Amino acid sequence: MHRRHFLGTLAASGVLPRTALSQQAPDVLTAATHRQQILPAGYPETTLWSFDAAFPGRPLRARQGDRLALDVVNDLPQPTAVHWHGLRLDNAMDGVPYLTQAPIQPGETFTYEFDLPDAGTYWYHSHAQSMEQVERGLYGPLIIDEINPPDVDQDLTLVLDDIRLNQDGTIGEFGNFHDLSHAGRIGNLWLANGQIDPAYPIKRGERIRLRLISAANSRIFTLGLAGLEGWIVALDGMPLADPQELPDQITLAPAQRMDLIVDVTTDDDEAFLITFERDGGYAIAHFPVSGAPSPKRAKPDALPANPDFPIDLQNARAATLLIEGGAMGGMRAASVDGEQLGARDLAQRGLFWALNGTAGRPEDPLLDLKLGESVRIGMANDTAFPHAMHLHGVHFAEVLPDGSLGPLRDTILLNPQETREIAFQAHNPGDWLFHCHMLAHHQAGMGTWIRVSA
Ligand code: C2O
Ligand code: CU
């Protein structure tokens, strides 16, 4: 508490003493079982796995330019590791078991410590058995404040999830072949910040920064706002150069984030965040409204840009990624640890998806890039299901059909049979995972990696 206040004051005065900060003792974050009421009152509580006995995990907040130091204590019955999703950080701190670190065994502690060059909306989550561990609750928001944040009346983070719970409050079994080979583990309950349709009071005339984070295992949210009007100002943590008027419906795939700046314009006494489902729209969170009527205000300025690593498309190395497999996909064989296996043998090992003909993380990287090199990767989704492809360690831009570059992202959705191209500069050395963030798909083979050699 005091430390945050202290940082806030010093940062505002522009004399942030960096060395003093990095000598602070690390903060502690404990992963352990935890019980919480998720189902409506009258139903049993749910046993979760969570960070610091909270679901979502304790919000982590720091300021751009800070250094984060955290001792992660594993009090779970399984090994774990923590990934700081979307951060362009030191590779050794990226939290991927057997790629960047050994998993943290039960009873052990691992110290994560890294610089925070970028401001924005990120999240942290377990990257070990993630289909199970994230579903059980091992995730939380990670907010990096701009040195000069935009002027808003409220800054509200909504971590969205869809969890699959039984009526007795238990979390169902994991890894059934249907989840692995179809759309992934889809839940039966929508949650915002761990609650069913929570309420956040707002006033007319207020300007609100809404940070939406999807922690869903596999569900692709189609969302809309009722009673609030505004702009999209950032995607996956990265500011848009020009804020975009908020459309009626926005898509948030697993792991994606969206920062909105909205004005409270409704005359009604409630506003809503709506999830659009096949049979209509449902409130996933609502906002009791008070105060005197007030119109929408002027368009906000763009958020201050994060450090830029320009992409040299002309001289970029070109690569392709073929996504195959899944039910109705017709994948006949794939290589696993160098061995060619037929579909039946793959299924026996719980493998249903392949990237460039390989199921599971291959021994050799998809690409071995030189530091500073630019690359473009054409991705083809030759399956009957959507996939949310996430690259660690860098943000990429989509190469749009007219050859221009779209906004920076760290996770991109490919619909069935869709082809998309991304490009980035390999500015961050290390071994970076590249995988589907439908966590059941990752578990069932959809993961590869990229090496950036210094
Ligand atoms: Cu959100 Cu590989 O992670
Ligand atoms: Cu997928």
* β-pair partners for 127: none
Q: What confidence category does residue 175 fall into, taking pLDDT thresholds of 50, 70 and 90?
A: confident
441 C-alpha to center of ligand 2: Å? 5
Give the right CATH number for 317-453 from 3.40.190.10, 3.40.309.10, 3.40.50.720, 2.60.40.420: 2.60.40.420
* β-pair partners for 413: 388
Residue 392 CB–ligand 1 contact under 6 Å: yes
* Residue 153 contacts residue 264 (beta carbons within 8 Å): no
Instruction: Say whether pLDDT at 53 is over 60.
Output: yes
Nearest to 256 by CA among 448, 408, 138: 408
Residue 361 CB–ligand 1 contact under 6 Å: no
Domains 28-290 and 317-453 share a fold: yes
Cα–Cα–Cα angle for 37, 75, 1, rounded to 5 degrees: 70
Structure letter (DSSP) for residue 101: B
Instruction: Say whether pLDDT at 348 is over 90.
Output: yes
Q: Terminus-to-terminus CA distance in the chain, angstroms?
A: 39
Q: Per residue in 259-309, pLDDT tens? A: 999 999 999 999 999 999 999 999 999 999 999 988 888 999 999 999 999
* Residue 184 contacts residue 174 (beta carbons within 8 Å): no
Q: Per residue in 72-93, pLDDT tens? A: 999 999 999 999 999 999 999 9
**Ligand 1 atom at minimum distance from 442 CA:** 2
Strand pairing of 202-203 and 280-290? parallel
What's the topology of domain 28-290? Immunoglobulin-like (2.60.40)
Instruction: Say whether pLDDT at 22 is over 60.
Output: no
Cα–Cα–Cα angle for 369, 371, 377, rounded to 5 degrees: 40
Longest dimension (CA), the chain: 68
| Coil/strand/helix, residue 417 | coil
Q: Return the domain boundaries, the chain.
A: 28-290, 317-453
127 C-alpha to center of ligand 1: Å? 7
Structure letter (DSSP) for residue 129: S
SS3 of 168-204: CCCECCCCCHHHHHCCCCCCCEEEECCECCCECCEEC
Tokens of 177: 């072949």
Residues in the chain: 454
E-strand ranges in 15-138 read 27-36, 46-51, 60-63, 67-74, 82-85, 109-115, 120-126
Instruction: Say whether pLDDT at 3 is over 60.
Output: no
Residue with tokens 């906002």: 287
Q: Tell me the average pLDDT of the chain.
A: 94
- How far apart CA 306 and CA 300 sit, in angstroms, is 17
CA-proximal residue: ligand 1, atom 1 (nearest): 85
What global pTM score does this model have? 0.94
**Ligand 1 atom at minimum distance from 255 CA:** 1
Neighbouring CB atoms inside 10 A of 199's CB total: 12
Residue 390 CB–ligand 1 contact under 6 Å: yes
Tokens of 440: 């059941």
Tokens of 60: 């982590």
419 C-alpha to center of ligand 1: Å? 22
* Residue 323 contacts residue 438 (beta carbons within 8 Å): no
